[in-house]
Structure 1
Amino acid sequence: MPEISERSDKSGRKLNTGNIGTKANHKEKILKIASEMDRDEIEEIIELLEAML
């Protein structure tokens, strides 16, 4: 049986319920995004992150 990934609240707004009950794995998501970037983009992000520290 397929899971419902969208519901409506009382006012009719659509609510995404697809991630309820799942634990986010941010490291995997970051690595997937980084694998699709070129070296210059990754270095730019590293510089921005280091500036935040």
Structure 2
Amino acid sequence: MVDEVMLAWECIGRSNARATVTRGNDTASQLGTIRAMTQVVPRGVAQA
């Protein structure tokens, strides 16, 4: 269960890093990223 959540975070982190590099440091996209993380992780926990 914990491993799945950590893997999800790792994937999110990698795609976010790529998005940040391509878009630049856009505050709005970072806020969207944080919002996406808070929605994705609990869903992963519920499934595990």
Normalising by structure 2, we get a TM-score of 0.38
Normalising by structure 1, we get a TM-score of 0.35
Bigger RCO of structures 1 and 2 (CA < 8 A, at least 6 apart) = 2
Query: Bigger radius of gyration, 1 or 2?
Result: 1
